[in-house]
Structure 1
Amino acid sequence: MKVSVVIPLYNAEPFIGRCLDSILNQTHSDIEIILVDDVSKDASLSIAEDYQKKYSSIKIIKHSTNKGSMMSRRDGYMAATGKCLMFVDSDDALPLDAVEKLVSKQVETNADIVLGNAVKIYVNGRRERLVDNVRANAKKLDFLKALLDEKARRCLWGRLYRTSLFHDHELRNLENMTIYEDACLLYQVAVNAERIEPIDDFVYDYYENKASVTQRVYGKKQIESIIMANSIISEFCQPFTQISYDLQHRVAKTVFALYSEDISIEEVKKLLKKHGMQKYGEFTTACKILKLADWWFLLKRFVYVRTKLSK
């Protein structure tokens, strides 16, 4: 089976060689690599082009203007010719038998999505296992509920997808989303999947990157991205009434946390109103939906942000 591996590329000069080597050396041989360069300002594209000269399996798509990783992934998956595809971030890597193990489960079960586990590798060398809690032969509602309840990772990497999930359905992709864009796409894909299968194997090496946006305090641009993403997630998940409470809880918790960030409460409320999400930012809504553990999370995020801002 041919597998397309999509890699959004932007300023990954220190890591892209490691990433490409891990894919080129896979035990599964039928792989095409699609790199989408989003106008990198370092030597990332040059390194990728050097690899392309040596390996015919590598395709490079070049953006003329910076569009963000969501559009890079879109251009990558639209160019994919494999029956299945994967996403790999340019600063991460795959264990050498990752694709083989994911493909084996897909062939065995004919699943639309195969979920693998990941290892997070911190800058100091510490390793942490990231494991999804999703049952075998899961249906879309099982997977959506697991995502909403934080029992499954809300990221695209570490999974194998049937390419038709991306080619045969209308998906919403927005330019210059700076955060939450992978979760936004994952939920859209999940609503069209009929069978999801987990495997016990660890198929992804997720390297901590201190420059990552998820390590920062959020400003207006990041906050609007989060609100837009949750608006799209709500739109795609609302038809499934069985998970309506889980959806409202997840969105309310995410939105209410934005009041801790580096813009005023009034600015957050304006952005919520702009995208039709104002009900999730109301204190009365939060009191009805959020649990004690959620308020503890919100307090910790507030303390973290204030500490960062005071330095």
Structure 2
Amino acid sequence: MLFSVLIPVYNAEEYITETVQSVLKQSEQDFEIVLLDDGSKDNSREICRQLCNKDASKIRFYYQKNSGVLFARRKLAELSKGDYLLFVDSDDLLEKNALSAIKYTIQKTHADLVVFDLMKISDKGNERYTLPFENNQIFHSHEKYSIYCELLKTKYLNGIYQKTFKRDCFDFEANYDDVKNMRIAEDIYQSMPIMDKAETIAYIKEPLYIYCKNHGGATSSVKLNDIKWDYKLYDRQNEYIKKWKISDEDIQTISENRMRRILGFLSVYAKQNNDSSYKQFKEYARSIKNNKYYMEAKEKASINNLQKIYKLDIVLLKMHCYHILFQLHKRV
């Protein structure tokens, strides 16, 4: 079997049928679908069971207590039988000829990993995530540096669902217990070891994946404690920055992105609608100054490249002007 299409399901009763149908209607039919309900509280479990019963030759279905999307994906990988793995979120879609295009590229290039564009659909309009490479571009050995940087420096290659990879590229034996409940940044966190193991990477400059961002999924809203997952991500990024020998110039860009992210959480804290919002905001603002990730990013970033709001944040933090900061971010 060529492909295992792996779909973690959580509270997706409104969307899972359409998602599965987008796979079943593929022009390339050498695949299996593996569904894993991750402790849904709605009717997803029953819908998945019905889908499996209706097309048992193509679909396998499993259920587990809620473990979060990262662990659900890892369980799906263990259950898979295909030579190549592809994750699809339970409210997203595959373009009709996606598997056919990926198969053609695999046959032509013998790639261990195929990456492709996605189309992000939301209430605000559509946005195509595309990479600055040629269609059918191949990356070997030292040529992979540019695609490593694209993963580390931009948002356009973060999604694990933008990648189809040989099962040998998946880190089955790795221990992820310290990030079991990771609810943001889990895609890029899992993508780094996959890209590292792939000897040959091929790129398809077509939006084969349709990402539907209007369903209130796990990443639709940022919560106060989510910054801790960013710090876990930075630790892993630092490992690969060293392993991939990322240049100082590219580290500067990565550091500037980290500055934006850490300072951006000031707005998350400021916009809470509760009586303790200022207290929590002040605690977070105070913690930033001595935070090792902030200090490292500030040292390696070029502050001049940051937007005015972040430059102002840096000045106000240094002056301990927390109330002014609070009022500023409530309005941003």
TM over 0.5: yes
Q: Quick one: distance in 2 between partners of 1:105 and 1:211?
A: 34
For the 8 Å contact 1:179–1:213, the answer to whether it is kept is yes
The equivalent of 1:258 in structure 2 is: 262
- Aligned counterpart for 1:187 among listed residues 192, 195, 202: 192
> Which moves more between the two structures, 166-175 or 152-161?
166-175
The equivalent of 2:298 in structure 1 is: 286
The equivalent of 2:100 in structure 1 is: 100
Shift in Å, 1:296: 4.7
Encode CA deviations 1:29-77: one digit per residue, 9 max, x unaligned: 111111121100001111111000011221223222x211000110111
Unaligned segments of structure 1, at least 5 residues: none
For the 8 Å contact 1:148–1:247, the answer to whether it is kept is no
The equivalent of 1:216 in structure 2 is: 221
Aligned residue pairs, count = 301
- Aligned counterpart for 2:207 among listed residues 184, 202, 205: 202
The equivalent of 1:130 in structure 2 is: 129
Shift in Å, 1:218: 3.1
2:244 partner amino acid: F
Q: Quick one: distance in 2 between partners of 1:77 and 1:19?
A: 19
Shift in Å, 1:230: 2.1
Unaligned segments of structure 2, at least 5 residues: 270-279, 315-325
Q: Quick one: distance in 2 between partners of 1:301 and 1:69?
A: 34
Shift in Å, 1:265: 6.3
> Which moves more between the two structures, 43-52 or 243-252?
243-252
The equivalent of 1:58 in structure 2 is: 59
2:145 partner amino acid: L
The equivalent of 2:164 in structure 1 is: 160
1:147 partner amino acid: L
The equivalent of 2:21 in structure 1 is: 21
* SS of residue matched to 1:238: helix
For the 8 Å contact 2:131–2:205, the answer to whether it is kept is no
The equivalent of 1:9 in structure 2 is: 9
The equivalent of 1:77 in structure 2 is: 77
Encode CA deviations 1:181-217: one digit per residue, 9 max, x unaligned: 0110011211111211111222111112251344424
For the 8 Å contact 1:257–1:301, the answer to whether it is kept is no
Q: Judging changes above 3 Å, is the alpha-carbon distance between structure 1 residues 142 and 49 closer, same or farther for their aligned structure 2 residues?
A: same
* SS of residue matched to 2:235: helix
The alignment's C-alpha RMSD in Å is: 3.1
Shift in Å, 1:235: 2.2
- Aligned counterpart for 2:232 among listed residues 207, 228, 247: 228
Q: Does 1:144 align with 2:148?
A: yes
Q: Judging changes above 3 Å, is the alpha-carbon distance between structure 1 residues 287 and 228 closer, same or farther for their aligned structure 2 residues?
A: closer
Shift in Å, 1:80: 1.4
For the 8 Å contact 2:171–2:193, the answer to whether it is kept is no
The equivalent of 2:319 in structure 1 is: none
Q: Quick one: distance in 2 between partners of 1:185 and 1:77?
A: 12
Which has the higher Rg, Structure 1 or Structure 2? 2
> Which moves more between the two structures, 28-37 or 127-136?
127-136
Q: Aligned residues: percent identity? A: 25
Q: Judging changes above 3 Å, is the alpha-carbon distance between structure 1 residues 272 and 152 closer, same or farther for their aligned structure 2 residues?
A: farther
Q: Quick one: distance in 1 between partners of 2:21 and 2:81?
A: 21
2:120 partner amino acid: K
Shift in Å, 1:300: 11
Q: Judging changes above 3 Å, is the alpha-carbon distance between structure 1 residues 285 and 102 closer, same or farther for their aligned structure 2 residues?
A: closer
